Structure 1
Amino acid sequence: MYKVVMKPLRISLFGGGTDYPSWFELHSGIVLGGPINKSIYWEYSEDSKELDIIKKVSSFLGITVEDCLTLRNSKFLSKGLGASSASISSLIETVSNKVLSRNDLISKVTYFEQEYLKKNAGNQDQILVNSNKFKVLRFSKDNVFEDDEEIPRDTIHTLNAKMYIVESKKKRDGELKEINFEDNAESLGAIKEIAEEALVILKDKNFNESEFHRLLNLSWKYKKKILTDSDVKFFEEEISEIFKMGASSVKLLGAGGGGYYVTFFDRKPRPSSFNEVIKVEFLE
């Protein structure tokens, strides 16, 4: 019988897209985000539905998995919350026959996703789902590291009191298209600059909420240029509805194609046509 290893999902507020090696090896990158109080994990089951990924992880680790395992909270997969990296992190720790350090685990998950599976994946999720607090991640050709800049606890409390995720009605249909980093250099450069501006605001003990919301909303202006036109029209209609619910700011999570929005409300969200509106918090 294997141990249960729970891994948190993650929300990145700023800088998503600049954590892809094809970008940061030329331009550097930054991501501001952290693990949240929703998790994913594997447990014993006589009726496993995830045999393919279990076999791939077993082959990657060079071990044999005897028992059947089932992924719990799998509804969060492909929803922009880092669930793929969280599930693989959990699975590797669950079946591994030796104790892995945090850095070893992050390295294994990153290599497994990017090289073994050949997935179009960045480098933020593997770190954030194996963290216990909000992080400032910096990426360059020579290094990927966690900056030691601390965000004041009162600021995290303010965000946590108002943060929700709203599930888009659009479902992802397979793998997302790869970002053309050369064609989207202007947009990604702007996303990086916005993240640097947001970091200054988040670090300030006198947290400027209105400026935070302005920057989070501004990031959509550039993110949507990376997506397909048909998706953008759909998401803009949903974002408009979320603002009518009373949101101060809205951001589509993940690489596009559907999933969740992270939103901030000063008051309880008004009723809407969305299936799920979930209160979430960053871990501290």
Structure 2
Amino acid sequence: MIIRSKAPLRISFAGGGTDVPPYPEEHGGAVLSATINKYAYVNIIPDNRTVVNVTSLDYELNIKYHLPSAVVYNGKLDLVKAALKVMGVDRGAKVYLHSDAPPGSGLGSSSSMVVALVGAIRHWMQKPMTAYEIAHTAYEIERRELQIAGGMQDQYAAAFGGFNFIEFFRDSVVVNPLRIRPEVMNELQYNLLLCYTGGIRLSANIIEDQVGRYRKGAAQTVKGLAELKEIAYQMKNALLVGKLDNFGELLHQGWLSKKKLSSKISNPRIDELYELALKKGALGGKLLGAGGGGYLLLYCPYTRKHVVAEALETVGGKLIDWNFDLHGLQSWVSSEGRIEGMI
């Protein structure tokens, strides 16, 4: 018996940063995002031993430890160790991991992996959990157990899937699924480019700098966060009514506001690519994730999309084929080629 799960990666359109404590507790945060057809995968093969053997198929890493030995976090597959500990796993298994994007890409891949882990373990241990509970548990694993700096949007995006407007308050998170008309979704997909800039970044360092500036009351950071929250609401409205050129222009405004949060968010290479895209006809865009590298999202009128794409490839940008995916976390059992129920 093999228990499998997959959780989608996401692109964040607006509001990123307002989900990072302590801002949402003090002012409330708001993020607009959508999941795409790139995934984090987990496979669990239970056995009767008291050994957990974990293998990353992407990095050819392997760890093994005996239950109930104390978990030691040493930088080697710590997300898995923490998930097994927090979920109370007390039996042996082989665990295999795979992701369509590396950590630090800006697509929320680390959080999607934790959501996939929670989903697979929940299926294995037969624990009833809602999407909210799964997302919250994934957040606790990353931010509390492992003390990794970051926000809350990625876990909820991966657990729920689709287009969501997510609001963050002092004591709660509210996920508002958006009913985007098919023609609007198709048009948005047609006009967006996803370009890999290189330079995998350490998002925790950027977030720590942003939080430090906010706690000190740095005017630019405080102003940038307020602008990002307002832009998230404006962008949600533009998307719901199909005003996509306005959506593209708001992407640009959001990127300018995002850069106010920390001097580490952009760099000369990213600025060069972004300015080139605007020069060739893009209406707006933003770097996905905390900043510093990874994927650049651009909105281009269809008459200019190919021109922008060619220009970016000429200077070393790598365009990625992708599409929206409206499904969140999924888990199922595979037994000798026979597929059993999906949850």
CA–CA distance in structure 2, aligned partners of residues 229 and 37 of structure 1? 29
Q: Which letter does structure 2 place at the counterpart of 1:261?
A: L
* TM norm structure 1: 0.89
The answer as to whether partners of 1:65 and 1:95 remain within 8 angstroms in 2 is: no
Comparing 160-169 with 217-226, greater Cα deviation is found at 160-169
Question: How many positions carry a matched residue from both structures?
Answer: 282
The answer as to whether partners of 2:7 and 2:115 remain within 8 angstroms in 1 is: yes
The structure 2 residue matched to 1:124, chosen from 130, 146, 153, is 153
Q: Give the SS at the match of 1:128.
A: helix
Comparing 58-67 with 187-196, greater Cα deviation is found at 58-67
Name stretches of at least 5 consecutive residues in structure 1 with no aligned partner. Answer: none
Q: Which letter does structure 2 place at the counterpart of 1:94?
A: A
How far has the Cα of 1:128 moved from its partner? 0.5
How far has the Cα of 1:254 moved from its partner? 0.6
The structure 1 residue matched to 2:85, chosen from 44, 59, 62, is 59
* Counterpart for residue 185 of structure 1: 222
* Counterpart for residue 77 of structure 1: 103
The structure 1 residue matched to 2:316, chosen from 270, 274, 277, is 274
The structure 2 residue matched to 1:255, chosen from 290, 315, 326, is 290
The superposition leaves residues 65-124 of structure 1 with CA deviations (integer Å, 9 ceiling, x where unpaired) of 634433212643211111111101111222341243322211210111111111112111
Q: Give the SS at the match of 1:191.
A: helix
Change (3 A) 1:229 1:248: same
* Counterpart for residue 35 of structure 1: 35
CA–CA distance in structure 2, aligned partners of residues 78 and 32 of structure 1? 20
The superposition leaves residues 10-31 of structure 1 with CA deviations (integer Å, 9 ceiling, x where unpaired) of 0110111111231111111111
CA–CA distance in structure 2, aligned partners of residues 76 and 276 of structure 1? 15
* Counterpart for residue 239 of structure 1: 274
CA–CA distance in structure 2, aligned partners of residues 101 and 42 of structure 1? 19
Matched, 1:86 2:112: yes
Q: How does 1:64-213 map to 2 (within 5 A)?
A: 64=90, 66-73=92-99, 75-96=101-122, 97-99=125-127, 100-147=129-176, 150-173=179-202, 175-177=204-206, 178=208, 179=210, 180-181=213-214, 182-183=217-218, 184-204=221-241, 207-213=242-248
Q: Which letter does structure 2 place at the counterpart of 1:203?
A: L
Alignment identity in percent?
26
Q: Give the SS at the match of 1:228.
A: coil
Name stretches of at least 5 consecutive residues in structure 2 with no aligned partner. Answer: 45-52, 64-76, 327-343
Q: Which letter does structure 2 place at the counterpart of 1:214?
A: E
* Counterpart for residue 337 of structure 2: none
Greater radius of gyration (CA): 2
Change (3 A) 1:148 1:39: closer
Comparing 96-105 with 10-19, greater Cα deviation is found at 96-105
Change (3 A) 1:254 1:226: same
Alignment RMSD: 2.4
* TM norm structure 2: 0.75
CA–CA distance in structure 1, aligned partners of residues 253 and 170 of structure 2? 27
How far has the Cα of 1:156 moved from its partner? 1.7
Change (3 A) 1:55 1:139: closer
CA–CA distance in structure 1, aligned partners of residues 269 and 2 of structure 2? 43
CA–CA distance in structure 1, aligned partners of residues 62 and 284 of structure 2? 36
How far has the Cα of 1:245 moved from its partner? 6.0
Q: Give the SS at the match of 2:81.
A: helix
